[in-house]
Each structure stands twice: as C-alpha cells, then as structure tokens.
Amino acid sequence: MTELHDPTAPPPFAPLRTDRLTLRPLRAEDAADLHRLVNDWEVAKMLARVPFPYPRELADEWIASTRALIAEGRAWHLAIVGREQEKEVLLGCVGLTLQAERRQAELGYWVGRKSWGQGIGPEAAGRLARWALANLGIEKLVASALLENPRSQALLRRIGFRQLGEAAQDFLSRGGAMPVLTFEMTRADLPAEPMPAPPPPAAAEPAAEGKRIVLVSAVALIDPDGRVLLARRPEGKPLAGLWEFPGGKVHPGETPEAALIRELKEELAIDVAESCLAPFAFASHGYANFHLLMPLYLCRRWEGAVTPQEGQALAWVRPQKLADYPMPPADKPLVALLRDFL
C-alpha cells in the first residue's frame, strides 16, 4: 500500500541537467573555485547575502551548510557546472530557499564574471524554477533584483517572473539597505509549455467557441479507509506539480471506461474491471487552447498493489484534506462534490 504522501515533504534531489549545464549539490572541493568567482566586487555587490571581501573559510562553511539544508529539505543551493574541454567547471550558483508556511520558495543565482553574456543564468535559474514548481509543495516562487541591476531583472522576466513592486533589502556587501524590485511566478507563468491539446482525431469537431473538446477519463480510487488517491503530475507535463485524479486521454475509438482501465494499468499497475467503475460526475472546463470534458468515476475494487509507473508521487488523501493539494482548475468542482459524497 502506498504511504500517505505529505505534500510538504522534501523531495529527493538528483542533479538537474540542461543543454549545457548540470545543477548539482556543491562539494567540498568546489570551495577554491567558488571563492575565486564570488570574491569579485562586480559579482558580490549584486548579492544580498554575500560579504565582500569574501573570506576563503566561508566558502568551506557555506558549502557544508548547503549539504545539510538539502538533506533537511529546507534549501537547495546548487553549483552551476559547465564543461570545458571535457572537464567540469564551476560557473556560478543557483539556489532555492523554501518558505513553507507561505507555500513559496525564493530563487537566487549568480554567475562568475567570465561566463556573463552567455545565457547561463536564465538556463540554470529557469531549470531550477521548473523543478521547484513541479516538486516542492509550493504555489509560487519569489525573487528580487537590485534596482540598479537591469540584467538580473531581465533574466527573471525571461524565465517567467512578473514584477510585483519595489522594496528595500539589506545587502551585506553594501553594508545597508538597497532598493530592489520584487518578482513572483506561479505555474501559470511558466513559459513555453502551454497546455498542449493532443493531435485531433480525424473526425474531431471544433467546439462552439473554436476550441477542440478533449475527452479525458479519470477516477477517484477509494481505499477501505475512505481515502482518495491523487497523483502528482510529473515534471515535463503541462501543469507539473499539481495533483490530479489518475486517468488520461481517451484515444480515438476507445470508450471512457476502456481508456481508464488502460491508463490505470499503465500508470499504477493495477487491474480494474469495467463493472467496478461507477460514473460519479464530470468536469467541463475551458483551458486556453482546448475544452476539457472529463468524466470522473468512483472505484473501490481493483487487483494489484497501486505502484507508480511513471515516477509520479502518489497520495492517499482524506476527503477533508483534499483542499490541501493544489489541483488543476477543472477539478475544483469535482473535489467539492466528492467531499460531500464521501
């Protein structure tokens, strides 16, 4: 039986990759390079929590503390590593600090002067932002940039942040408060991955207002304690990080029940008989580029142990607790119905 998943539990961390970079935990042997890169006034003067000059021992202490914070699931300060002639080189750092009570995390980054102007910052920060929204139990990311640092502001906008306002923030390197612009970003701000509708089946008719109707079958699996199974959309899918009812798109020629039986086998490795699927309610919701029609079934009997097949997190959730799990907008009315029914 799958463990009850706490949506705020720290996720395991494995290095993140982009086309050119690896973002990995800092290591003791990075200290000398880190010190060389950050003990540079042009870098340090833009950073709120970095003293200048930067003592060499501080690099060792800081690296040790970042490893503890990752283990505790409180912050992820990572090395931005590139390759030069087949050798790993430290280019800068990118970090996230969880502010769990506000369901947000703060993003920060710096890149050594030698690597400026190559898009390293947005590539690293954008990757970590995507990971954070998909894997931490948060609703948004926050960040700030010095008013006098338009390059950092542009970076934040480029990866999806929206400017909120202006504030004053203490800067260790400057010995006092400095004006900053504040930013935030939710899943809806993530660029370049709009909800893609599937390729249309040959006979698909556009809906009234020109959007195609996409039929998705979903199920509330209910265990003997009356808990409902939610699955978290994995990274790489639209709306990654949101919790949803297991299910998926109905293929051309398939019935909604057959689609669900197939999806439950593929996603959770369980066998469900059609007679155990009880129609319960449906969602009809307009997304930006398609209209979702989603029947929701109830199911209390299946064969096999529920086992995630696609690396997705699973949670058995008591009906009163469903609201603690951020879900796609289409699911909101279904959750209310389910809570009343169970």
- Whichever of 30 and 244 has its CB closer to ligand 8GT, that residue is 244
Q: What is the pairing mode between strands 162-171 and 140-146?
A: unpaired
Q: Please tell me whether residue 198 binds ligand 8GT under the rule CB under 6 A.
A: yes
Task: For residue 291, give both structure tokens.
Answer: 């209209």
Strands (E), the chain: 16-17, 22-25, 75-84, 87-99, 104-111, 140-146, 162-171, 176-186, 213-221, 228-232, 243-244, 247-249, 278-286, 291-299, 314-317
Q: Considering only 19-27, 92-100, 149-157, 243-251, which stretch makes contact with ligand 8GT by CB under 6 A?
A: 243-251
Letters for 199-218 (x = contact with ligand 8GT by CB under 6 A, - = none) are: -----------------x-x
Q: What is the Cα–Cα distance from 62 to 60, expressed in whole angstroms?
A: 6
Cα distance between residue 188 and residue 129, in whole Å: 12
- 265 part of the interface to ligand 8GT, by CB under 6 A: no
Q: Is 247 in the site for ligand 8GT (CB under 6 A)?
A: yes
- Among residues 31, 80, 239, 264, which is the contact residue for ligand 8GT, using CB under 6 A? 239
CB of 139 to ligand 8GT, least distance (A): 17
27 DSSP 8-state letter:
-
Residue nearest ligand 8GT, CB atom distance: 248
- 68 versus 269: smaller Cβ distance to ligand 8GT: 269
Residue 31 near ligand 8GT by CB under 6 A:
no
Report the alpha-carbon distance of residue 340 to residue 342 in Å, rounded.
6
Q: Is 234 exposed, middle or buried (0-12, 13-18, 19+ CB in 10 A)?
A: middle
- Residue 146 near residue 131 (C-beta atoms within 8 A): no
In the complex with ligand 8GT, the residue whose CB is nearer, 163 or 309, is 309
CA atoms of 271 and 261, how far apart (whole Å): 7
Among 195, 213, 276, 342, binds ligand 8GT (CB under 6 A): 195
Interface with ligand 8GT, residue 292, by CB under 6 A: yes
Residues forming contacts to ligand 8GT in the complex (CB under 6 A) are: 195, 198, 216, 218, 237-239, 244-245, 247-249, 292, 328, 330-331
